[in-house]
Structure 1
Amino acid sequence: MKRLLPVFILVFSLCYTFNYAQVQLEKTNLPIFSFTLEPGGFLNLETDSPAAYQLRSNGTGKDNTPTDPPVLTGKMGVRYRGKTSFSLSDKKPYSIEFLDAKGEEQDVPILGMPAHSDWALMGPFSDKSLIREALIYRFGQKISPWAPKYRFVDVIVDGQYKGIFMLTERIKRNKVRVNINKIGTKDTTGQKVTGGYIFALDKLDPGDITFRSAFPMPGKTYPPHYRVVYPNEDDLRPAQLQYLKDHVRAFERVMDSPGFDDPKEGYAKWIDVPSFVDFVLLNELSKNVDGYRLSTYFYKDNDAINSKIFAGPIWDFNLAFGNANYCNGQYPVGWGYEFNKSCPQDSWVIHFWWEKLINDPAFRVKMKQRWFQLRKSLLSNGQIMGTIDSLVKVIGPAQDLNFKLYPILNKSVWPNSYVGGSYANEITFLKNWLDDRLIWLDAVMAEIPDRVSNVAFGEVKVYPNPGRESLTFEYRLAGFNETAEIYIVDANGREVYAYSHKFISNGPQILPLDISQYPTGMYFYRVKPGNGAPLTGRFVKQ
Structure 2
Amino acid sequence: MHFITCSRLNSQGANPSNLPLVVIDTWGQAINDDPKINAWLKVIDNGPGKMNDQFQQGTDYDGNIGIEIRGQSSQMFPKKCYTLELRTIAGTDTAASLLGMPAEEDWVLYAPYSDKTMLRNALTFHLARRMGGWQPRNRFCEVYLNGDYVGVYQLMESIKRDSNRIDISKLSPDEISGDDLTGGYIVKADKIDNYGSDEFFQITPSVHYKNSDNYRFTYVYPKHNEIAAAQKSYIKKFLTDTENSINGSSFTDPATGFRKYLDVRSFVDFQIIQELVNNVDGYRFSMFFYKNKDSRGGKLHAGPLWDFDLCYGNEDYTDFNLATNIWLYSKFEDKYGGRMHWWARLMEDLSYRGVFVARWKELRKGTFHTDSIMMYLDDTIESLGEAIDRNFTRWPILGQYVWPNYFVGETYKEEEDYLKGWITERVNWIDANIMLAENVSENYSGNEILVFPNPASDQINLYFYLIYSGEIRIEMIDLLGRKVFQEEILPENQGYQYLS
Q: TM-score interval w.r.t. the shorter chain? A: 0.7 to 0.9
Q: 1:271 to 1:332 in 2, by over 3 A?
A: same
SS at match of 1:79: strand
Structure 1 residue 426 displacement after superposition: 0.9
Q: Which 10-residue stretch deviates more, 190-199 or 56-65?
A: 56-65
Q: 1:219 to 1:44 in 2, by over 3 A?
A: farther
- Kindly provide the amino acid, as one letter, of the partner of residue 86 in structure 2: F
* Contact in 2 for aligned 1:455/1:478 (Cα 8 Å): yes
Aligned pairs for 1:84-483 within 5 A: 84-87=73-76, 89-204=77-192, 209-215=199-205, 219=211, 223-327=214-318, 328-340=320-332, 347-447=336-436, 455=446, 478=467
Structure 1 residue 22 displacement after superposition: 5.2
Q: Which 10-residue stretch deviates more, 180-189 or 438-447?
A: 438-447
- Kindly provide the amino acid, as one letter, of the partner of residue 131 in structure 2: I
* Contact in 1 for aligned 2:314/2:322 (Cα 8 Å): yes
Count of residues in correspondence between the two structures: 439
- Kindly provide the amino acid, as one letter, of the partner of residue 168 in structure 2: I
- Kindly provide the amino acid, as one letter, of the partner of residue 214 in structure 1: T
Q: 1:478 to 1:412 in 2, by over 3 A?
A: farther
Structure 1 residue 191 displacement after superposition: 1.3
* Contact in 2 for aligned 1:296/1:315 (Cα 8 Å): yes
- Kindly provide the amino acid, as one letter, of the partner of residue 330 in structure 1: L
Structure 1 residue 66 displacement after superposition: 2.1
Structure 1 residue 199 displacement after superposition: 0.6
2:48 to 60, 70, 84: 60
2:456 corresponds in structure 1 to: none
* Contact in 1 for aligned 2:109/2:156 (Cα 8 Å): yes
1:535 corresponds in structure 2 to: none
Structure 1 residue 360 displacement after superposition: 2.4
2:455 corresponds in structure 1 to: none
Structure 1 residue 37 displacement after superposition: 1.2
* Contact in 2 for aligned 1:218/1:351 (Cα 8 Å): no
Distance, in Å, in 2 between the alignment partners of 1:126 and 1:248 is 35
Distance, in Å, in 1 between the alignment partners of 2:359 and 2:68 is 40
* Contact in 2 for aligned 1:38/1:50 (Cα 8 Å): no
Bigger Cα Rg: 1
* Contact in 2 for aligned 1:217/1:224 (Cα 8 Å): no
Q: 1:93 to 1:170 in 2, by over 3 A?
A: same
Distance, in Å, in 1 between the alignment partners of 2:84 and 2:467 is 54
Distance, in Å, in 1 between the alignment partners of 2:11 and 2:285 is 34
* Contact in 1 for aligned 2:332/2:341 (Cα 8 Å): no
Distance, in Å, in 2 between the alignment partners of 1:347 and 1:245 is 18
Counting aligned pairs with the same residue, the percent is 33
Structure 1 residue 25 displacement after superposition: 2.4
Structure 1 residue 260 displacement after superposition: 1.2
Q: 1:218 to 1:391 in 2, by over 3 A?
A: farther
SS at match of 2:63: strand
* Contact in 2 for aligned 1:217/1:349 (Cα 8 Å): no
Structure 1 residue 416 displacement after superposition: 0.8
Deviations 1:193-214 (A, max 9, x none): 1000011111135666211021
SS at match of 1:125: coil
Runs of 4+ that moved beyond 4 A? 205-208, 215-220, 505-508
* Contact in 2 for aligned 1:197/1:230 (Cα 8 Å): yes
Structure 1 unaligned segments of length 5 or more: list them: 1-20, 458-475, 481-504, 509-529, 532-542
Structure 1 residue 507 displacement after superposition: 5.1
* Contact in 2 for aligned 1:478/1:506 (Cα 8 Å): no
SS at match of 1:109: coil
Structure 2 unaligned segments of length 5 or more: list them: 1-8, 439-443, 449-464, 470-491
Distance, in Å, in 1 between the alignment partners of 2:429 and 2:323 is 11
- Kindly provide the amino acid, as one letter, of the partner of residue 196 in structure 1: G
**TM-score normalised according to structure 1 size:** 0.76
- Kindly provide the amino acid, as one letter, of the partner of residue 421 in structure 1: E
* Contact in 1 for aligned 2:209/2:247 (Cα 8 Å): no
- Kindly provide the amino acid, as one letter, of the partner of residue 366 in structure 2: S
Structure 1 residue 54 displacement after superposition: 1.0
Deviations 1:115-134 (A, max 9, x none): 00000000000000101000
Distance, in Å, in 1 between the alignment partners of 2:198 and 2:142 is 31
SS at match of 2:403: coil
